[in-house]
Amino acid sequence: MITSSVLEVESLTLTAASGEVLVDKVGFSLAAGESLGLVGESGSGKSLTLRAILGLLPRGVEQTGGTIRSKAVSAMVFQDPRGSLDPLCPVVKQVTEVVYYRQKTSLRAARSIALELLMRLGLPDSLATKDRYPSQLSGGQCQRVVIALALACKPGILLCDEPTTALDVTVQRQIIDTITNLQQELGFAMVFVTHNLAIAANLCARLAVMKQGRIVEYGATPALLQHPAEAYTQMLIDSVLPLPELEGGGI
Amino acid sequence: MMKPRLTLTGAAGNNGSYKWLGTALVRALIVILCVMTAVFFLIRIVPGDPAKMILGEYSTPEALQAMHHTLGLDLPIWEQFVRFIQTLFTQGDTGNSIVSGTSTRELIAQRAPVTLLLIVMASVLAIAAALVLAVLAATQKDKLLDHLIRIIPAVTLGMPVFWVGLLFILLFSVRLGWFPVGGSGEGGLSTLHSLVLPAVTVAFSQIPTLVRSLRAQMLEVLESEFVVTLRAAGIPSRVILFKHVLRNSALPTLMLLGVNISYLIGGTLVVEQVFGIKGIGSLLFTSISSRDFPVIQGIALYCALAVVIISLLTEIISGWLDPRTKAQL
Amino acid sequence: MNNIHSEPILTEKSTRPSALRRIVKTPSLLTGILMFAILILLAVLVPYLSPYDPSEQNLSAFLQPPSAAHWLGTDQLGRDLLTRLLYAARTDLAIMILAEIIPFCTGVLLGMISGYYGKWTDKVISLITDAFIAFPFYLIVIIVAFASGAGERGIYITFILVGWIVFARVVRGLTASFRKQEWIASAQTLGLPGHRILLRHLLPNVLPQAVVVLMTDMIGLLVAIVTLGYLGIGIAPPTPDWGTMIADGQPFITTAWWLSAVPGFAVVYTGIALSLLGDGLADIWRRKS
């Protein structure tokens, strides 16, 4: 085990009000600046694990066992970028608000920090002069705003909950590049939840495969991909469609 | 439903056309025309001869004929309609009162202020109370207070508004002596004072529906993803509730008021009768007992016009305020 | 080919045996049914239960407070209040139920047509409903009830004219949303005629929601009947009715307040029963789907 971990989750158990166990004894640790991919089908408890780390479990779900030890501020990037933003509030204002409450600056300073963040994430600088609402931005742009919201918390751990699933394939690529670059620059640790093994494998040094609320396999990415111990992991690997060979011009 | 948009820039906002506004206006206009037609037919589709109702069951055929002539009922129906529309557009009303000979417009204008004041007071009270109750219920979801607030509609839905008015008079006027038993005072503060109880009565009948929709609306907003995002970003709950959730619930509330204005006016007419207030409601009932058809028609017309115009206004205002309407076009 | 028709539809046949258990398991529905049943039972049996006649005057015993002989006291003509209250329930509840039949049917039908066919049918029907909704409900009820003459007939005519709108609006919205679903499209591609899709497939899916609306609408209708009675343009005086009872008691509000209060509570009681019924039914159907 790495001693300088920023996040340690130990036998975390989450239970629904009905008594159904949704996450069962999940444990992993995360070193500063490291990325962990949490992979699995929908309903396997990945997102709930993230919400538990954040301390924002949905109504009716409770932590019934285990511990979460975190040494850094965590922030989250959500799956549905447009839904994650207040539709009636200009996006700059939303980022400003988070800077204001998290970094305890003056409102004016918060606004300039927010704008700087947004520019850095590749949003048009017209935002500075004109109020733009989420409905006036594209999905990809909205996701950049959501990332800015998370970064405004100055996180040591970034939790990403399927941040690319709702986006077009081309935009997915851009968002992932943005996240990778930011991580190299700012050095935050990351838990990346996705059902897409290919994306996780590209981004993360270690992977945890989840199924029905349990981690069924956990290890360094290359080893896990080459020698999966579980049939389920093998199935996930097989389900990543290779591009057809483009010999002879292809069809 | 949001359609996927291909443009990556945020330029679509302001050069978007105001097509929704045009559609709303045209629709309101057509509804107004329908309303006019309906007012014309209102006393013609129901069985019975209006002239006979005015003169009584045992009137002579001559008197009946004369009355038919006064009412224009001896003309073919299309000509009656043309005449009706003509008066509407030249005088802005439905003809003169059979009883007093005064134009209906004037009669209504005399009575309108107190009714309008009552409606405004009732709406303000209803919205204020509904907002407080809805915020309490939504933030305490599934706790005791929420259950209590949710029982209110089931109990009050079956309360006739005039009966509530009577009980209020009994309690607050007769027993406690806080308010006059009826009437509308002698202007100024005394009018406001006498209208408090009627306004509370009208508001009381509106609050359940308002609370029910507002609570549902606020819960939807409270459980929407952006609230989770804001929580995750560490914004204090009171800021989330009062800035984001309330703002997002405000538009639907405004729309709701536009829809409910019709019930509000109807309730006001009945409540006026209970409290003996000389407004449009009492004009309606005196006209009914004296069979003054043009006045009845005039009241129906003006009330309906008020409803159409207020709904249109709420639609326009919320369209104006909502960035989504602009972006979608 | 025939069994194609019934295939893609959410049928409710297989759920029969558990229907009773589901009612018992829904407390709001059970309470609603019980409250309503008690009321109906009392109203039906009142001639055998009460020693008094609803219109029998006894001027030596007028305006009496509640006592052993008169559980709820007597009115200004010495008539037993409880007896009149239950006879009034007969009148008001019967009219309430009868007056809903035609509006319910036309409303559901027009709503389905409007939602299913869309285009101009929808536009015309929506315009008519919009124009009707523009008139404050009580205004139009008062005018039509007056113009068609006081009494039951006026109430029936009024509700035939205006009662269908609520159902039409709800059903139209529902039908339009069902229409977008795949199974309707597949039924259409199979070449089923429109009326068949409407009656065989859409109606069963739309009806539950319409019945829930019917429950709340009946409360509104009852309140309207009572209001008309109070205003003197509803049920005519000799027949007992909660509205006229409240109006009759109004002059004595300072001395014998229960004369006006009690009939109002009867309306509230019926309202609560119907509310619970509606909520319970909605719960059951929500859980099913």
Residue A166: is its pLDDT beyond 60?
Answer: yes
Which residues in chain C are contacts of B270 at CB distance < 8 A?
138, 227, 231
Say what the pTM is. Answer: 0.77
- The mean pLDDT of A229-251, rounded to a whole number, is 69
Number of Cβ within a 10 Å radius of residue C178: 18
Q: Which of C136, C219, C275 lies closest to B307 in CB terms?
A: C136
**Per-residue pLDDT at B101:** 78
Q: Compute, in degrees rounded to 10, the torsion defined by CA atoms C81, C83, C88, C89.
A: 120
What does DSSP assign to residue A157? E
**Per-residue pLDDT at B7:** 32
Which pair of structure tokens corresponds to residue B168? 């209020």
Q: Percent of chain A scored above 70 by pLDDT?
A: 94
The Cα B252–Cα B215 span in angstroms is: 11
Q: Are B328 and A135 in contact (CB under 8 A)?
A: yes
Q: What tens digit of pLDDT does each residue of C67-83 get?
A: 766 677 777 776 778 88
ipTM of the complex, rounded to two decimals: 0.80
What are the structural domains, with CATH classification, of chain B? 18-91 (no CATH), 107-328 (1.10.3720.10)
Q: Within the 259-318 window of chain B, which residues sit less than 8 Å (CB to CB) from chain C?
A: 262-267, 269-270, 273, 284-285, 288, 296, 299-300, 303-305, 307-308, 311
Residue A1: is its pLDDT beyond 70?
Answer: no
Q: Within the 147-176 window of chain A, which residues sit less than 8 Å (CB to CB) from chain B?
A: 149-150, 152-153
The Cα C34–Cα C71 span in angstroms is: 23
* Of A48-52, B228-232, C111-115, C176-180, the least confident: C176-180
b/e sequence C10-28, b meaning 16+ C-beta within 10 Å: eeeeeeeeeeeeeeeebeb
Inter-chain CB pairs, B–C, below 8 Å:
152
Cβ-based neighbours of B252, under 8 Å, separated by 6 or more: B213, B214, B217
In a mutational test of the B interface, the residue from C93, C120, C138 whose CB has the highest number of chain B CBs within 10 Å is C138
pLDDT band for position A223 (cuts 50, 70, 90): confident
Coil, strand, or helix at residue B256? helix
Q: Are C179 and C116 in contact (CB under 8 A)?
A: yes
Residue C210's alpha-carbon distances to A114, A149, B213, C181, C222, in angstroms, are 51, 45, 19, 19, 18
Q: What tens digit of pLDDT does each residue of A71-82 get?
A: 888 888 888 888
For β-strands A61-70 and A35-40, DSSP reports them as: unpaired
**Per-residue pLDDT at C6:** 37
pLDDT band for position C18 (cuts 50, 70, 90): low
* Unique residue bearing structure tokens 């619930």: B249
Q: Are C36 and C93 in contact (CB under 8 A)?
A: no
Interchain pair C223, B38: CB under 8 A: no
Residue A250's alpha-carbon distances to A241, A242, A244, A246, B240, in angstroms, are 17, 14, 8, 5, 55
Interchain pair C272, B155: CB under 8 A: yes
Residue A109 near chain B (CB below 8 Å): no
More confident residue, A243 or C147: C147
Which pair of structure tokens corresponds to residue A180? 């990778």
What count of residues does chain A have? Answer: 251
Interchain pair B38, C260: CB under 8 A: no
Cβ-based neighbours of B100, under 8 Å, separated by 6 or more: B107
b/e sequence C137-172, b meaning 16+ C-beta within 10 Å: bbbbbbbbbbbbbbebebbbbbbebbbbbbbbbbbb
For β-strands A214-220 and A206-211, DSSP reports them as: antiparallel
State the smallest CA–CA distance between residue C139 and chain B in angstroms: 6
User: Which residue numbers in chain B have pLDDT < 50?
Assistant: 1-16, 327-329
Which residues in chain C are contacts of B46 at CB distance < 8 A?
144, 147-148, 157
What count of residues does chain B have? Answer: 329
Number of Cβ within a 10 Å radius of residue A2: 11
Residue of C nearest to B280 (CA): C139
Q: Percent of chain A scored above 90 by pLDDT?
A: 0
Which pair of structure tokens corresponds to residue C260? 């006006």
The Cα C69–Cα C53 span in angstroms is: 14
pLDDT band for position C38 (cuts 50, 70, 90): very high
Q: Are A134 and A87 in contact (CB under 8 A)?
A: yes
Residue C8: is its pLDDT beyond 50?
Answer: no
Q: Within the 159-188 window of chain C, which residues sit less than 8 Å (CB to CB) from chain B?
A: 161
* Unique residue bearing structure tokens 């850095």: A120
Residue C2: is its pLDDT beyond 50?
Answer: no
- Angle between helix axes B280-289 and B104-139 (nearest 10 degrees) is 130
Residue C13: is its pLDDT beyond 50?
Answer: no
Q: What tens digit of pLDDT does each residue of A18-43 get?
A: 888 888 888 888 888 888 888 888 77
**Per-residue pLDDT at C10:** 43
Q: What tens digit of pLDDT does each residue of C191-234 get?
A: 677 777 777 778 888 888 888 889 888 998 999 899 988 888 88
**Per-residue pLDDT at A199:** 83
pLDDT band for position A245 (cuts 50, 70, 90): low
Cβ-based neighbours of B211, under 8 Å, separated by 6 or more: B130, B133, B134, B137, B149, B152, B153
For β-strands A206-211 and A189-194, DSSP reports them as: unpaired
Residue B325's alpha-carbon distances to A87, A144, A205, B322, C97, in angstroms, are 11, 23, 45, 6, 43
Q: Closest Cα to residue B274, out of B262, B285, B265? A: B285
The Cα C246–Cα C232 span in angstroms is: 11
CATH class of the A1-72+188-239 domain in this structure: alpha beta
Ranges of each domain in chain A: 1-72+188-239
Which DSSP string do the residues of chain C spell out, in sequence order?
-GGGTTSSS---GGGGGGHHHHHHH-HHHHHHHHHHHHHHHHHHHHHHH-SS-TT---GGGTTPPS-SSSTT-B-TT--BHHHHHHHHHHHHHHHHHHHHHHHHHHHHHHHHHHHHH-HHHHHHHHHHHHHHHHS-HHHHHHHHHHHT-SSHHHHHHHHHHHTHHHHHHHHHHHHHHHHTSHHHHHHHHTT--HHHIIIIIIHHHHHHHHHHHHHHHHHHHHHHHHHHHHHTSSS-TTS--HHHHHHHHGGGTTT-THHHHHHHHHHHHHHHHHHHHHHHHHHHHHHH-
